Structure 1
Amino acid sequence: MQQFLFPVLRTALAIGFSWLLVLPATAAQPRTLLVFGDSISAAYGMSSEQGWVALLSERLEASHPDYTVVNASISGETTAGGLRRLPDLLQRYEPEVVVLELGGNDALRGYPTRLIRENLATMSRLSREAGAKVLLLPMEIPPNYGARYTRAFRESFPLVAKATGAHTAPFMLEGIATRDELMQDDGIHPTAAAQQQLLDNVLPSLLEIL
């Protein structure tokens, strides 16, 4: 009996020891939060370290150290351009969360809101199919584009969220866009001084899904 038990015990101990080696490594694997936007998230007009995404990364280092923030935002990006780039990024980073901040450049160029919604919805679905939660950041445009177009654009974001199961945040430039001292001379991009407020506007919705 003893001759039989010793090999079994040795095998069990070896398996248990191997799990002790594997488990810490598994727990240490970082999760990726992918920010996918345009110039608002690409820190236009300032260094990338001053932007709200960099501030988010610093914040999560303290509160959610298992998350790594990847900023794939490009100034001037549209929903069509984003749709072309996103599949490769999803495959490369396998994000747990995708923060989608696109649509503003489309609207400023007068693109049909139907196409904007379709592109946003497709990106949201691709992200969710890849296993990521999606936080959609609504945008606004100046009223001189006309009440009908402005309203249709504003309504695009909750419609996309409802159709695809994405989460939404409040307008991230709330309390910023109407304050000249927090906007750059072009009247479109927030200053470096506004970046913390941008993060404050987004963070509560983001923390709900982390």
Structure 2
Amino acid sequence: MTLNRREMLAMVAALAAAGPARAQGLPRLLCLGDSLTAGYGLPRDQGLVPQLSQYLQAAGQPAQLINAGISGDTTYGGRVRIGLSIRRNAPDAVIVELGGNDMLRKFDPLKSEQNLDAILSEARAGDRPVLLVGIHAPAGQADWRLAWTQIWARLANRHGALLLQDLYAPLADLPPDQRGPFLQGDGVHPSALGVQRIVQHLGPAAAQLVAQTA
């Protein structure tokens, strides 16, 4: 069969509208986050997304993970780009890992919660499974830290999302003098070894998320 130019263009448009191809029929997980998700300062195969992909494969819940992490991103940035990310990637589920940069910049927890609320509303559209990943607040005013601590469970309950309360717990639980090998030189971002430790903590919740896509 020979197609004319108009028919060829129509076919290309239809294929584009169909969305990204699915790798071997695996569920697609959109990983929306900041530098930790992006893999800041690490070799490409040692970041959170590739290590989590390996974990899920070994756990019998393989998935195609889409890295939508941007270093330095905030909850507001995530709110701006979540819709386009979903339209472009047509994910079956979404992991949301944002808030750390809001805390570092001492943003108002209420405003950050509003941003996360909008992100989760978009991510959960069509009853899409979502995993919300919380982060413990750094040292600061007690009321401010408490406000951040309470955000994660409240949002997860509101949207029926899975929750990991504190992504950094495996590192925060270590005595300060033992954290060196698990952090990069800046003392903030995890090293490849630190990511490995974090993935062991995150992995079971991510595997549960994949199971919900069935």
Q: Report the TM-score range of the alignment, normalised by the length of the smaller protein.
A: 0.7 to 0.9
**Structure 2 unmatched ranges of 5 or more:** 1-21
Do the aligned partners of 1:42 and 1:48 also contact (CA within 8 Å) in 2?
Answer: no
Q: CA deviation at 1:46?
A: 1.2
Show CA shifts across 1:152-204 (max 9, x none).
11111111111111110141211313423312233321111111111111011
Pair 1:188-2:188 in alignment? yes
Show CA shifts across 1:28-52 (max 9, x none).
5332111111011111111221112
2:170 and 2:27 mapped to 1: Cα distance?
31
1:166 to 161, 166, 170: 161
Give 2:203's aligned residue.
Answer: 203
Show CA shifts across 1:5-33 (max 9, x none).
xxxxxxxxxxxxxxxxxxxxx9x533211
Q: CA deviation at 1:131?
A: 4.1
Give 1:141's aligned residue.
Answer: 137
Give 1:10's aligned residue.
Answer: none
Distance 1:187 1:141, change over 3 A: farther
- The TM-score, its normalising length taken from structure 1, stands at 0.81
Show CA shifts across 1:83-130 (max 9, x none).
111101111112111110001101111111111111111111111114
Distance 1:209 1:46, change over 3 A: closer
1:188 and 1:32 mapped to 2: Cα distance?
29
2:203 and 2:97 mapped to 1: Cα distance?
14
2:158 and 2:117 mapped to 1: Cα distance?
7
Higher mean C-alpha displacement, 170-179 vs 116-125 = 170-179
Structure 2 counterpart SS, 1:175: helix
Do the aligned partners of 1:53 and 1:199 also contact (CA within 8 Å) in 2?
Answer: no
2:162 and 2:170 mapped to 1: Cα distance?
21
Structure 1 counterpart SS, 2:124: helix
Q: Which has the larger radius of gyration?
A: 1
1:109 and 1:209 mapped to 2: Cα distance?
30
Structure 2 counterpart SS, 1:72: strand
Give 1:36's aligned residue.
Answer: 32
Alignment of 1:23-172 (within 5 A): 28-62=24-58, 63-65=60-62, 67-143=63-139, 145-172=140-167
2:143 partner letter: R
Taking only aligned residues, the RMSD between alpha carbons, in angstroms, comes to 1.9
Identity %: 32
**Structure 1 unmatched ranges of 5 or more:** 1-25
Do the aligned partners of 2:33 and 2:96 also contact (CA within 8 Å) in 1?
Answer: yes
Pair 1:175-2:170 in alignment? yes
Do the aligned partners of 2:75 and 2:99 also contact (CA within 8 Å) in 1?
Answer: yes
Structure 2 counterpart SS, 1:71: strand
Distance 1:87 1:130, change over 3 A: farther
Q: How many residue pairs are counted as aligned between the two chains?
A: 183
